[in-house]
């Protein structure tokens, strides 16, 4: 009888130990479950803009970006103009993230006293894991309003509100290849309701290119360039090229750059006259971005 009790006790303990032992199949299922999560690519660029042009990056939901874009005069002005520092143009902007894939923004530039606004939507978001997406695809549409008193320059042609307007549409296709390199391409259409002469088309087509190379944890080299497909060649219209250095400091992203463009939105730097890099008609400038969390993370 006592032996039977001992045997029963040993069997019970053995069964309990077996029950507590982890099932290897369960570990395998857990590993498979972890692999099924989707990881979206973050911080392809440190800002929703490369330098002049929009980037594939979006603002987080509930985040506001206050941007100061500042550009001095041409370096070719020499010592008399303090190599352009005596002259300046700028754009003040406010951008807001409505959702992870949708943001809006407004701005005002000193050049042509232009007011602009845009909407930006991300159709595809580069990701790995459960859903693999090799690229990001973003759409941007904007409108600009020329604020000058006379936008035609011809007395016989009155300045109407319609003649003040311009538009642009851009599709941004980009990829972050690794932690150090991001590249994007952006076919763009710009429409101006009024143009200077018959040689200038109302619709301009361009292909934009941009990129970012991370140098250190808080520093990166950026560039953007737009190639105009149908603009009549003149000695004052050159394709816009900008090269800069991003410096990240906490909630700020500070960018130093050189550019041959005065305008700081797609309509302006694609349509308006740009300088010649080889003749020193480039401008030193800086962009400053300050992020504010309008909606608290726990409320998102």
Kindly report the CATH number assigned to the domain that includes residue 56.
2.40.160.40
In a domain, 26, yes or no: no
Query: Exposed e or buried b for every residue in 172-196, given b needs 16+ CB within 10 A?
Result: bebbbeeeeebbbbbebbbbbebee
Give the pLDDT mean for 13-42.
Answer: 57
Dihedral of CA 263/264/269/275: which sign?
A: positive
DSSP letter, residue 287 = E
Lowest mean pLDDT among 66-70, 110-114, 229-233: 229-233
In a domain, 37, yes or no: no
Dump the DSSP string for 42-92. Answer: --SSSSSBSSSSBPS--PPTTEEEEEEEEEEEEGGGTGGGGGGTT-EEEEE
pLDDT in tens, 103-158: 999 999 998 899 999 999 999 999 988 888 999 999 999 999 998 888 877 766 78
d(CA 45, CA 54): 10
Residue 80 or 280, more confident: 280
In a domain, 25, yes or no: no
Residue 18 or 290, more confident: 290
In a domain, 7, yes or no: no
| Termini Cα distance of the chain | 67
Does pLDDT of 29 surpass 90?
no
pLDDT in tens, 271-300: 988 888 988 889 999 998 888 888 876 554
Give the pLDDT of residue 18: 46
In a domain, 39, yes or no: no
Question: Which are the contacts of 30, defined by CB distance < 8 A and separation ≥ 6?
Answer: none
Does pLDDT of 245 surpass 50?
yes
Dihedral of CA 82/86/90/92: which sign?
A: positive
CA neighbor of 102 nearest in space, from 56, 59, 47: 59
Q: Which residues pair with 103 in a beta bridge?
A: 97, 120
Does pLDDT of 94 surpass 50?
yes
CA neighbor of 48 nearest in space, from 27, 63, 35: 63
In a domain, 17, yes or no: no
In a domain, 253, yes or no: yes
| Cβ atoms of 60 and 100 closer than 8 Å | yes
Give the pLDDT of residue 156: 65
DSSP letter, residue 164 = G
**Count of domains in the chain?**
1
Three-class DSSP category at 228: strand
CB atoms under 10 Å from CB of 236, counted, come to 10
Give the pLDDT of residue 19: 44
CB atoms under 10 Å from CB of 6, counted, come to 10
Residue matched to tokens 């301009």: 204
Residue 235 or 280, more confident: 280
Q: Which residues pair with 185 in a beta bridge?
A: 173, 209
Give the pLDDT of residue 13: 46
Longest dimension (CA), the chain: 120
DSSP letter, residue 155 = T
d(CA 9, CA 116): 82
Three-class DSSP category at 136: strand
Question: Domain of 161?
Answer: 44-299
Residue matched to tokens 């603002």: 59
In a domain, 240, yes or no: yes
């Amino acid at each position: 009888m006592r032996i039977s009790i001992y045997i029963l006790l040993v069997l019970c303990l053995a069964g309990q130990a077996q029950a507590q032992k982890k099932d290897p199949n369960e570990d395998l299922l857990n590993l498979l479950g972890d692999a099924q999560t989707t990881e979206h690519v973050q911080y392809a660029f440190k800002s929703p803009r490369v330098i002049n042009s929009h980037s594939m990056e979006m603002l987080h939901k509930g985040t506001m970006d206050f941007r100061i874009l500042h550009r001095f005069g041409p370096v070719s002005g020499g010592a008399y103009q303090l190599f352009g520092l005596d002259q300046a143009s700028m754009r003040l902007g406010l951008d807001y993230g409505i959702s992870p894939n949708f943001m809006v923004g407004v701005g005002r530039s000193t050049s042509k006293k232009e007011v602009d606004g845009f909407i930006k939507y991300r159709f595809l978001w580069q990701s790995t894991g459960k859903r693999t997406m090799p690229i990001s695809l973003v759409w941007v549409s904007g409108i600009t309003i020329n604020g000058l008193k006379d936008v035609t320059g011809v007395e016989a042609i009155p300045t109407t509100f319609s003649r003040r307007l311009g538009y642009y549409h851009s599709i941004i296709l980009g990829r972050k290849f690794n932690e150090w390199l991001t590249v994007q391409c952006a076919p763009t259409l710009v429409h101006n309701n009024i143009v200077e002469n018959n040689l200038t088309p109302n619709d301009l087509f361009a292909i934009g290119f941009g990129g970012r190379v991370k140098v250190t944890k808080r520093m990166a080299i950026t560039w953007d360039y737009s190639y105009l497909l149908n603009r009549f060649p003149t000695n004052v219209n050159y394709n816009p090229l900008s090269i800069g250095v991003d410096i990240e400091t906490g909630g700020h992203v500070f960018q130093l750059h050189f550019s041959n463009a005065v305008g700081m939105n797609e309509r302006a730097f694609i349509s308006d006259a740009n300088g010649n890099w080889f003749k020193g008609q480039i401008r030193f400038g800086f962009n400053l971005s300050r992020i504010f969390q309008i909606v608290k993370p726990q409320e998102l």
